[in-house]
Structure 1
Amino acid sequence: MSFRFNKKRSLYALPITAALLAGLLLLGNVFVNENGNLRRMHYIACFIFAVLIGLALTFDWNIGEKLQKHVVHSCLFLSPLAAFCIIEIFNDNNPFEIKPGAIVLNYLWFLVLHLLVYALSNRMRVTVITVNALAFILGAAYQAVLTFRGTPVLPGDLLVLGIAMDVAGGYSYKVTDLLVLAVLVLAFVIILAIKLCQVKVREKLWHRAALALAAPLFALLFYATPLMDWMGLSFTLWQPAKQYQRNGVVTYFAMNLKYISIKEPEEYSAEKAQQIIKNGDYKSDTAKASKKSPNVIAIMNETFSDLGVVGDLQTDQDYMPFVRSLKENTVKGTLYVPVKGAGTCNTEFEFITGNSMSHLSPGVYPYQQYIEEPTDSLASILKEQGYTTSAIHPYYPEGWNRENVYPLLGFDRFYSIYDFEKQETPPEKIRDYISDRESYRKIIDLYESRMPGEKMFVFNVTMQNHGGYNYSDYEPTVHITKPEGTYDDAEQYLSLIKESDTAFQELVNYFSQQEEPTIILMFGDHQPKLQTKFFEKLMGKSLDDLTIEETQKLYEVPFVIWANYDIEEQEIARISTNYLSSLLLKTAGLKLPAYNKFLLNLYKEFPVIDSTGIIDKNGQYYAVGDPGTDNPLLDEYSILQYNNLFDPKNKLKGVFALKVKKEDPPADLGSSSSQSSDTGPTSPDTQQTSSENTAAAA
């Protein structure tokens, strides 16, 4: 092999190289991290690859005939290393500092992909360019998801690409040092492929068939054998971003796929589920409409959270003064949700059904994957008690498959953004989203337009506070005084929370003046995706070094139940979303199915069960998979949830709903007396306070 300087090519190669180097100088600020430090190694690497691109373009490469075929075949085994490096650049990872076994597996995944593409195309140049370009696209998508929502890509995200594209307009796209470096590496690989793979090596058909078999055979080896154990690797759900760093993007994603399938709980059977209900003396209340029943309003407020729980946050004004002021006829406290930064529908799923994401594989979205037939929910429970059921979400109805899921959950009507756009007066918007105030006006409209004697249940999923938080035309009204620094996105977010607090005050004030009893629940779906440095300043340490207790702080949001009639006040220190609808029913004095009574009993022992871990009644924190999570009650929960969601042929009747359908025989629950619906648990984390009876809140 020899190299020869080509004057003609240098006429365009040198200007291209000069442009690349000048561009890197102009983009110097891109290589400065959030802490103001220059990412020197990335910057130097970019200059090196810019020069290598210029040299590769300038020189002719003369490969002897004897070597050409060997060079082409060598590309088949060297190119997977390049693809591995490209995708790990986006992971902000040194690919050769991860676990040795993971390096091997990542290389093998890309190798079998090369073999498959080569078998189909019979062109080495096409193979190298295609696979490395694919690695670039996948890496860019991985970085985008991690940047936008703060959590990495998981297999279930593949089912919601449309939704991701739909909401991505709210975020700004920035050129990063990782993107620049990956572009230069990919460009260099493409030039090498063109230069080195000049000879068309034709493989026989049976050779290509053998190469194509490598992919399914390796997949079988990975998923059907203890290959990960042999490589010294283990799978954990704890801190997935860190696991991607340790295992590499492709291998950890493949690990997740291995565990995404629905598995029966150990010792599961319909008979076992029935025995749990019988032994616990749980029995559904009889469905019966009552004129004394209150109207029920549940609001899941988009990204509503109190960042003061994360660390020492101080602002120039309180951003949720009204919610904090509520005391009379109020139950409020801290809610633990299953997601952070994004994934609204999973918090919604837990609340509306009482089921827990902790029993499902990471990265799944039940609204997209599991709700395909009528499913018992808070809506259907209230419908059985004579309520009309309406859902409001002032955004597109196809988001998270709500337009199909809501009817299956028992909602009579779904009001989406299209209904708001039909109004005579254009809906009020804050930034690009319909405001909370406008969304609450729809609740009031439904209340005022009811038939006489009609009891209503409204579930409102707001949109106002959706990320990102870098709108140039929205001026923050709340400013951060501690921690010190510039946090424009956090200030915009807190200002939106102040808007939400005011809108909620207006809603409460309206119903405080109504004579008809009404109970309102409002809670957040998750914390926002903000700059990492902001959260690290609040917590005083790197997010990679958080304990389970510190990590759980990132999953805390406030909730408040208020009524315009007398209810017992409570401050609840901790409760997870899967219990919240049962608490709402109990507080409103409504009927409960056996399943909800089971949940209220489980709550006494484990007030928090979420996708991050468990907190028991003594305040002990456990990560997912810790020995402390091996408990018969938790196993029972898993069995009942599986029967509820995944065993329709043997689903227990009269357990998840109030009444048994006429065509269905009742479950044999034994002859023991039923558990009263108003004897829910007195939480170990609950402090009850006495107060004067009042009909309305201030």
Structure 2
Amino acid sequence: MSEAAPAAYAAIPLISCILLAVLTAYAAVAARRAGRRVRPGQIAWPAVFAALLAVPGIWCALGLLEAACGWVTLLAYSAAMLALGAGTLVRRRLFALLDRMGAPSAHAVRAARDVAALALSSVLSAYALELAWNDAFTELRLYYFAVSVAVVAAVTVLLYFLGLRTGVLASLVPVACTALGIAQHFVLSFKAAAILPSDLLAVGTAAAVSAGYTYVLTERIVLSLFLCGLSLFLLSLIWPGRPADARRLAAGALADLALAGAVAGCLAAAYGSVGMEEDLGLVYDRWMPVATYRTGGFIPSFIAVAQDLPIPVPEGYSDDGARDALARLAAAYDAGAGASPERAEAVAQFEELKPTVIAVMDESFADLSVFEALAEAGYPGTVRLNSLPDALQRGALLTSVHGGGTANSEFEFLTGDSIAFVGTGKYPYQLYDLSDVDSLPRQLAGLGYATHAIHPQLGGNWNRETVYREMGFETFSTIEDFEGEPFFHAGNTDRSTYDRISDLLSEDDGPQFIFDVTMQNHGGYDAGTVPEDQLSSWAPAGVADENLLAQLNVYLTCAVASDRDLASFIEDLRALDRPVVLVFFGDHQPSVSSALNDALYPGEDPQAHQWRIYRSSYLVWANYDVAGNPQASATEEIGAAGLAAQVLHLIGAPLTDYQKALVASRAEIPALSAMGYRGADGVAYALDAEGPYRSLVDDLRAIQYLHFARRVR
């Protein structure tokens, strides 16, 4: 956490807030004494500026205003907000002057005033959005900033007419722009990511898990709030004047609504016909969307991502062609791995034993010893997971998300469908009805398995209550089932979820599929969130940022705790007198690894740079000797979407043709994610790169479109 401004500085904006409240009260009393009615705007507009004064004041009092925002900045900001707020108290006098003017002159002055206010407000709002978060704003091309202003202006004009040519509804635009800018600042700080359109559908989830972060207001945010205030003051000056009679009032209102409809139609037409990438030349970096946001601006980039949300039809796609590709890969499996003696032994054993399958997706669990400097500093990695001698398979798991987006990792695992072919920035849990999509719980339920999901958080997070029901889970244990259970760092301990699994096993001796999504390692990783006596102190060479080191060690302490709980859970499963298969994997690396990556590998090739942080760890283990498998801890890289099919193959469970295709494709592409894929030649390829495996990638894209997109369109 950066150094905070002294709490005493809070007096500057808070005193200004009190003065504005006193001025507003005095103006209201004076109006009443003069026999004038106190109109709502006479209270509401100054109240807005009082709120803008209260925000930095309260943050400063809480020790959450950065020291760089010194008393001079606070004083200037407070004086400006006080003056603007007081200025709204005399707006009625300006309106009265216009009312006394002749009709033609008054109409001309009002029109000029409205045009100027709307135009200046649009520029200020677009600037406020970027200023709050974009430290590369000076590199933003004027062309893209003009696009931002144009979009903001169109929405502002729409609300101006909807508000019957007042500034009331239009004032929502600067507030929204400033709020988005501030939100983007925190998302960038905590997750090194951009706000994507699908994130707006997950705002409830974001709010539910936001308590682990520290929200420090920066000087840039305070300046953004100033621009918001200036924009609001300009809009407060917009007023159409008193209508001559009720008939003119009604006619004017109808005309305004018609114009609002016309503007809305133009906006919709422009969105549907003008592509940010194709027509305006914005280069959307699907590897790192935040890079696009920095150089293209928030609004153009956000629109570009939104226009990319529909799942694109693969080039040259046909259902028959996709079915042929699926049949070829399934046949290759049947003639190869599926026809091996080892697979036959495993199949016979599975039909007899029907082992319980437990899948644990561990929050932010990853082995960061992949960062050489950290390993050289003595960090041993996830020791217990790495040293387990009798795993069926383990290794690096390619993920399509980093620092967040947990639901996409579980979507890939539970469906076998990769975000690579759905689209970066899309969250299927939020966007699609998955009732008709093949899923692991529904598949195992068809084999007689009871199906249970566990997550010690709110059931509505990532829409899980609905999605799990659509996927075929029979029960779902949420935070309500963990009342009184021990906490560590950001949530209930991993161990507490394992105890819940043990309860389920003791309640039913039949085969079960249990899916456990843990919580304890969730970001942020501020100092003081783990016990001091457990806190690690690794210091890799090349990292000088003390704040980064502090967060890194908080995370590593969490990873050690998860590794320890996993080892304990495995020993519990060993002691069971029933066959159990355990699949354990991390959903993504922690957000702190992005800053670590940048510090240790500056100027690196972008693809190699991103590849390092889009990987976690996985383990497949059984408490019985799986027939046809040496259980010698084979190490293989795999993608999250291919993991479930591989597990079913290893233990002899029945496979669908789609799963057979996934397993067969690993002969040429062992691992695939939204970041790219690893070829059998050991080379990491970008998803759309030309190369020896491009034909197979195209086949997999078509097969998944048939398997997933055709069912959710």
Q: TM-score, normalised by structure 1?
A: 0.79
Return the alpha-carbon distance in structure 1 between the equivalents of residues 418 and 151 of structure 2.
33
1:459 aligns to what SS in structure 2? Answer: strand
How far 1:198 moved relative to its partner? Answer: 6.7
Equivalent residue for 1:245?
Answer: 294
Checking the alignment, whether the CA contact within 8 Å between 1:301 and 1:462 is kept in structure 2 is yes
Aligned amino acid, residue 555 of structure 2: Y
**Closer/same/farther in 2, CA of residues 613 and 565 from structure 1, 3 Å limit:** same
CA distance, structure 1, for counterparts of residue 116 and residue 594 of structure 2: 42
Report the CA distance shift for 1:133/1:414 in structure 2 as closer, same or farther (over 3 A): closer
| Distance (Å, rounded) in 2 between the aligned partners of 1:589 and 1:81 | 63
Q: Which residue matches 1:394?
A: 456
Task: Indicate if the aligned counterparts of 1:222 and 1:228 stay in contact, CA closer than 8 A.
Answer: no
Report the CA distance shift for 1:417/1:25 in structure 2 as closer, same or farther (over 3 A): closer
- 2:129 maps to which residue? 87
Equivalent residue letter for 1:395: Q
Alpha-carbon RMSD: 3.7
Deviates more, 1:254-263 or 1:58-67: 58-67
Gapped regions of structure 1 (runs ≥ 5):
1-7, 33-37, 651-698
Match of 1:101 in 2: 143
Provide the rounded CA distance (Å) in 1 between the counterparts of 2:278 and 2:319.
Answer: 34
Distance 1:516 1:647, change over 3 A: same
Indicate whether 1:463 and 2:519 are aligned: yes
CA distance in 2, matches of 1:630, 1:221: 38
The answer to whether the Cα contact below 8 Å between 2:162 and 2:169 also exists between their aligned partners in 1 is no
| 1:254-653 paired onto structure 2 within 5 Å | 254-280=303-329, 281=331, 290-313=351-374, 318=380, 320-421=382-483, 426-431=484-489, 433-451=491-509, 454-470=510-526, 472=528, 474-476=530-532, 477=534, 478-482=536-540, 483-484=543-544, 485-486=546-547, 487-530=549-592, 533-537=595-599, 539-541=600-602, 547-566=606-625, 567-568=629-630, 569-628=632-691, 631-648=694-711
Shift of residue 418, structure 1, vs aligned partner: 2.8
- Report what 1:153 is aligned to: 195
> Given residue 77 of structure 1, which amino acid in structure 2 is its aligned partner?
A
Q: How far 1:51 moved relative to its partner?
A: 6.2
Task: Please give the per-residue CA displacement for 1:207-265, whole angstroms capped at 9, x wherever unaligned.
Answer: 66335413331331343145754544343423111101111111111111111123332
Alpha-carbon distance in structure 1 between the residues aligned to 2:650 and 2:500: 25
C-alpha distance in 2 between matches for 1:343 and 1:313: 25
Supply the distance in 2 between the matched residues of 1:215 and 1:649 (Cα, whole angstroms): 28
1:175 maps to what in 2? 217
Confirm or deny: 8 A CA contact 2:597 2:609 kept in the other structure: no
Distance 1:91-1:624 versus aligned 2 partners, 3 A rule? farther
Aligned-partner Cα distance in 2 for 1:609–1:436:
28
Is the contact between residue 95 and residue 103 of structure 1 (CA under 8 Å) also seen in structure 2? no
Distance 1:640 1:431, change over 3 A: same
Amino-acid identity (%): 26
Deviation at 1:204, TM superposition (A): 7.6
* Deviation of 1:332 (Å): 1.3
Matching of residue 122 in structure 1 with residue 122 in structure 2: no
Count residues with an aligned counterpart.
620
The structural deviation recorded for 1:560 is 1.4
Aligned to 1:688: none
In structure 2, distance between residues paired with 1:44 and 1:549: 45
| AA at the equivalent of 2:667 | K
CA contact (8 A) 2:130 2:181 kept: yes
- Structure 2: state its 5+ residue gaps: 1-18, 25-49, 244-251, 339-343
Task: Tell me if structure 1 keeps the 8 A contact 2:333–2:661.
Answer: no
Which is worse superposed, 493-502 or 304-313?
304-313
Question: What corresponds to 1:218 in structure 2?
Answer: 267
More displaced 10-residue stretch of structure 1: 90-99 or 278-287: 278-287
Q: Which sits farther off after the overlay, 183-192 or 276-285? A: 276-285
Q: Could you tell me whether the CA contact under 8 Å between 1:380 and 1:410 is conserved in 2?
A: yes
TM-score with structure 2 setting the length: 0.78
- 1:45–1:266: structure 2 CA closer, same or farther, 3 Å change rule? farther
Take 2:554 and 2:164, find their aligned partners in 1: how far apart are those partners? 54
Summarize deviations over 1:629-686 as a string: whole Å, max 9, x none: 9822222222222222233499xxxxxxxxxxxxxxxxxxxxxxxxxxxxxxxxxxxx
The verdict on how the C-alpha distance between 1:222 and 1:447 changes in structure 2, with shifts beyond 3 A counting, is closer
Q: Secondary structure at the match of 2:459?
A: coil
> Structure 1 residues 317, 630: CA separation in 2 closer, same or farther (over 3 Å shift)?
closer
93 and 432 in structure 1: CA distance in 2 versus 1, 3 angstrom threshold: closer
- Does the 8 A contact of 1:148 with 1:171 survive in 2? yes
Quote the Cα distance in structure 2 between the aligned partners of 1:372 and 1:329.
32
2:116 corresponds to 1:74: yes
Change in CA separation of 1:54 and 1:417 when aligned onto 2, cut-off 3 Å: closer
Whether the aligned pair in 1 keeps the contact of 2:679 and 2:693 (CA below 8 Å) is no
- The Cα offsets for residues 411-446 of structure 1, whole Å up to 9 and x where unpaired, read as 33333333344xxxx422224522111111222233
Q: Distance in 1 between matches of 2:115 and 2:384?
A: 69
- Greater per-residue helix proportion: 2
In the alignment, does 2:248 pair up with 1:185?
A: no
Cα distance, 1:629–1:406 mapped onto 2, change above 3 Å: farther
Letter in 2 for 1:379: P
What are the Cα deviations for residues 554-576 of structure 1, in whole angstroms up to 9, with x where unaligned? 11111112223343324435211
Aligned to 1:654: none
Take 2:620 and 2:306, find their aligned partners in 1: how far apart are those partners? 39
Greater mean deviation of Cα atoms: 225-234 or 100-109: 225-234
